[in-house]
Amino acid sequence: MHKDGATPAPMKWWGWGEESVSFTHEGKPELAPFIERHLKLDVRRPGTPPLAFEALEISAPVLSAPLRARLEDAVGAGHVSSDDQDRVVHGRGKSLTDLVRQRRGDLSRLPDVVVRPGAEDEVVAVMEAALAADAVVIPFGGGSSISGSLEPEAGESRPVISVDMVRMNRVLGIDATSQLARVQTGVFGPDLERQLNAQGWTCGHFPDSFTYSTLGGWIATRSSGMQSDRYGDVAELTRGLRVVTPSGVLVVRPVPSTSTGPSVREMVLGSEGRLGIVTEATIHIRRVPAERKILGYLFPAWADGLAAMRDIAAGETEPSVTRVSDSYETAFSFATRTDPTPLDRVKSRALQAFLKRKGWDLEAMCLSFIGYEGSEGEVAMQRKQTERITKRHGGLCIGSSPGALYDQKKFDTPYIRDFLLDRGAPADVSETSAPWGELQTVYDNVMAAGYGAFDELGVPGYLMCHLSHSYHAGACLYFTFALNPPAGRDALEDYGVVKRAIQQAFVDSGATLSHHHAVGTEHAQWLEEDISAPGVAMLRALFEGTDPGANLNPGKIVATGRDREPGETVPRGESSRTNGGTGEPRRSLDARRASRPRS
């Protein structure tokens, strides 16, 4: 986390996080041998840095003087930028595909201008200016998307405006009685927690991208966090919304439940900017717990860990974290440990000897983390009830040290990807969810598909998995993979073979294409297999009905209407400024702006 919890600086244009922060194998004596053994990759040799920024070929912005003037009138001249680095940083997210292409200098279509509104009225003015100029609008939070949700469509001839919400970063009010907070959506995770913690509250949402992602980004992608078992994912946390759309400001009241037709709140969640720019959300909050503890556990095998997590989810306890790694991820986790002290070595040897006496296969054992929060008494009760279940499945508590280390390092994982990419080895993640009764089958099918892809390519590869985000009916499986293509081969093509094999195994096994990383463009090809052809048609009708001119982040989730078969049309151009393509002029957003609810 940043020292003061405030808004972080923009991320590297070619990688994750701050320029001054990087991952290293040094101080982790087992990591380099582990990677060399499984990927045939010597990470001790220096990596190859990306191109220098000065070597990039950056196209000139396509922005008329009148449009720029309107944008400057909307947000202030100091908050309108066509700076080269600004445009490059806002041109893509942080998917593996994004990073490889950035590093190669393949920038594709960049935004022409980055605007940073400071209030909802300014967002409204930006939207009106964009519609009047038939420009494309792409909302931007922290830029951490790994599904291709931020890149303009290739060949887009219209002006492209990246709307960076960074200035809209305040908690506007807290309703302590209802345990709700009104929050501007440009707030980054650490800053949100800092503002809430100062008044004794927490949102409890901690995705891997926490440091570099925003509330608006979480909403746009239906994000889940590491403590979603207790606090809920962002779809459960988000109750009310304000969204600037082409036809006005959409207001969703923060009521606990409603029967007003299909849920508009649910339509906005996961919409990736296709329906408008989310400016404000009312979210559930809880009091900061008096005690928080994450403990490490070991299970004899993956099946034992799965069964334990299933029974915990079905029980009456409410742990904040229920996570178990398969044997492959457990081995990797142990390889990333820092240089142990002599006492640590003694303890490790004693534990291994104890487990062998119990008949454990140490190569099959699985590491788990379970978190507890609440008062001292509540934490003790949660732990007692949960450990009855873990013991029933052969689990063994190994104390707080592994959990404390996990808690400290949980936001560092994305830096490892840059470390491997520097050495020519692409690494990525794919995650899914399925019912408890299908999880083992999904796991087996994905492992077979992933390792089958490595064999097909003839490359060294490693695939591992953990279970997280447990629900009454099922859970999320989160897979991480890496491969080492030979010199002279296109690493991105080889990566694509593995990624497609894993994603296809998801949908072929009856699981979803993504649990919390969204659709974007990277996962769109599997959407119909996941939600069926009528489901895709519904989404297309929703997007085209709301945005008939295809001005809002076109091409994400489902293709825009202009990609239809010849002969089919969707209103474009002038009709983008009319009411649903009927020819009737749209009322101004000022006229349609909804009155803000009272605090």
Catalytic residues: 478
Closest CA to 73 of 111, 129, 113, 131: 129
In sequence order, what E strands does 20-86 have?
80-81
Strand (E) or helix (H) holding 418: helix 413-421
> Nearest-CA neighbor of 322 among 481, 476, 515, 506?
476
Q: Which amino acid is at 524?
A: A
First to last CA, the chain: 30
Look at the block and give the residue holding tokens 């919304």.
241
DSSP helix/strand/coil, 575: helix
- Whether the Cβ atoms of residue 146 and residue 250 lie closer than 8 Å to each other: no
Neighbours of 36 (CB within 10 A): 14
CA-closest candidate to residue 233, choices 521, 523, 470: 470
What is the DSSP secondary-structure string of 359-416? T--TTT-EEEEEEEEESHHHHHHHHHHHHHHHHHTT-EEEESHHHHHHHHHTT-HHHH
Residue in 135, 276, 151 with CA at minimum distance from that of residue 216: 276
- In whole angstroms, what is the distance from residue 365 CA to residue 304 CA? 9
CA distance 16 to 10: 10
Closest CA to 275 of 530, 524, 52, 553: 553
**Among 319, 309, 299, 142, residue whose Cα is nearest residue 226:** 319
Q: Pull the structure tokens for residue 500.
A: 């497609």
